Structure 1
Amino acid sequence: MSLDHTAHEAETPRRGWTKARALLAGGLVLGVGAAITLAAWTDNEWARGLFGSGTFGIEGSVDGATFADHPTSGDPAELSFAVGADNLAPASEVFAGYAVRLSAGSTYAADVTLTQDTTDALSGTTASYVYTTGATCDAAAFAAGTNPNGATFELAALDAPAFLCFKVAADANLEQGQSGSITWTFTAESGATL
C-alpha cells in the first residue's frame, strides 16, 4: 500500500509538470502569433483634388474708352446720341456708338445676344444697328458697318471690345411733342476658356 501511495505521489508532480509544459507551449504559440501580428507592415496613400471656378462678365462703354458694368435695366448706360436726338423731325437720323468687352479678369469668352426693346419708342421712329471697327459712330461709320441687326457676336479675348453703331430714324409718321426710349440688352453666356 505504501508503494502505491508513493507511486501516486510521484505521478502527481509529473502530471502537474506536464500540464504546465502544455500551457507554456500554448502560450508560446499564441505569443508567436501575436508577435507576427505586431510586426506586420502597413502603408497608406491619399489623394485630394483642388477645385476653383472661373470668372466671366461683360461691361460697356459709351465712348469706347471708359468701361463700366451696367447690370440692371434700372440703371443702364445712357447712349450719347447726336445733338438733336431730343428734337427729332421727319427724316431725322441720329447715331450713337457703344462698345462691349469682357470684364477684366474673365477666364472665359462670351457669346453675346443683343435684343432691342422698342415698346416705349417714339411712334414714327425705327431703330437699327451695325458692327463697326472703332468707337466712331456717325452716318459714314453706319454705312460702312457690317452684319446689320446681327443678333449675336462673340467676345473671344480680353481688351478686344466689339463696337456697335446704333441709328434711330424718324419718318413722316413722327408725332409732335412726344418722348420715348429704346432699350438695348446685351445678354452674355460664357463660352470657351480663354
Structure 2
Amino acid sequence: MQTATRNESTTSPARPGDRRRKMLAILAGGLVLGVGAAVTLAVWNDSEFATGTFGSGQFELEGSLDGTAFSSSETAPGKPLAFAVDADLLSPGAVVYAPFAVQLSSDSTYEASVDLASTTSGTIGAELTYSLYDVGATFGATCSAATPPSGTALVTDQPVASPTPAAVFELTAVTDPVNLCFVVTASSTLPAAQTGTVTWEFLGESTDPLP
C-alpha cells in the first residue's frame, strides 16, 4: 500500500530587510510619479491696443458793418455802429437806426446760441431804449427812418442800461449771417446836454456740433 504524499508550499517568513526594501521601492515610485505629475505649462502673452486722438472744437462770432466784410471784435468797444446822422444830437423822442450782421466764422465746428447784452457810459444811457430786428436776407435794406425794419423783432424797447442779456438768435451754419437792425429811441423827457456811449455785446455759447 502506497501512502499519498501532500505537497505543501512553504513560504519563508519575510525578513525585516526585505520589507524595508519594498517600502523604499514604493516610496521611490511615488516620488517618480509625483515628479511626472508636475507639468510645466507654456506661457502665452497677447495685447490689444486702442488709441483715441482728441482735440477741442471751436466757434467764433464775426460781425460786419456792411454785410460783406466780416471780422472778429472780441473786446470793447468793438465796431462803431453807423447810426444815422445826428445820433449825437438827439432830441426827446428821436429814433435812430444802424445795420449790423453776425455770423459764425468759416472754421467754426459748433452751432451757437447768441444773447445780446448792453452797457453804457456817460449820462445819456438812462434815457435810451433799443430794439433789435432780424431784417432777412438783405443787409440794411430796411433799417432807416425812410424804410423802418419790418422783419422779426428780437428785442423790443429794452433799456440800454438793463443788466439782463436778451436771447436773440441761433447760428446753425458757418458764414450764414443774420442781418440786423438796431433801433435806438430817446426818451420823451431827454434832458439837454447828455452824452455817453452804448456798447452791445453778442454773447455766443456753443451748442450742437455743426453737420
TM-score under structure 2 length normalisation: 0.67
1:167 aligned to 2:173?
no
Aligned to 1:131: 134
**Partner secondary structure for residue 129 of structure 1:** strand
Question: In structure 2, how many angstroms separate the alpha carbons of the residues matched to 1:45 and 1:124?
Answer: 70
The Cα shift of 1:106 comes to 0.6
The AA in structure 2 aligned to 1:115 is A
Change (3 A) 1:138 1:147: same
Name the larger-Rg structure: 2
Aligned to 2:99: 97
Shifted more, 167-176 versus 118-127: the winner is 118-127
CA contact (8 A) 2:133 2:154 kept: yes
**Partner secondary structure for residue 77 of structure 1:** coil
User: Which protein has the bigger helix share?
Assistant: 1
Give matches, 1:104-183, under 5 Å.
104-118=106-120, 120=122, 122=124, 124-133=127-136, 134-136=138-140, 137-139=143-145, 141-149=147-155, 151=166, 152-183=168-199
| Runs (5+) with no aligned partner, structure 2 | 1-24, 26-30, 157-165
User: Which protein has the bigger strand share?
Assistant: 2
Q: How many residues get paired?
A: 181
The Cα shift of 1:120 comes to 4.0
The AA in structure 1 aligned to 2:169 is F
| Runs (5+) with no aligned partner, structure 1 | 1-17
CA contact (8 A) 2:120 2:196 kept: no
Aligned to 1:63: 66
Identity %: 40
TM-score under structure 1 length normalisation: 0.73
1:3-47: CA deviations, max 9, x gaps?
Answer: xxxxxxxxxxxxxxx9xxxx99999888xx55xx45x44322222
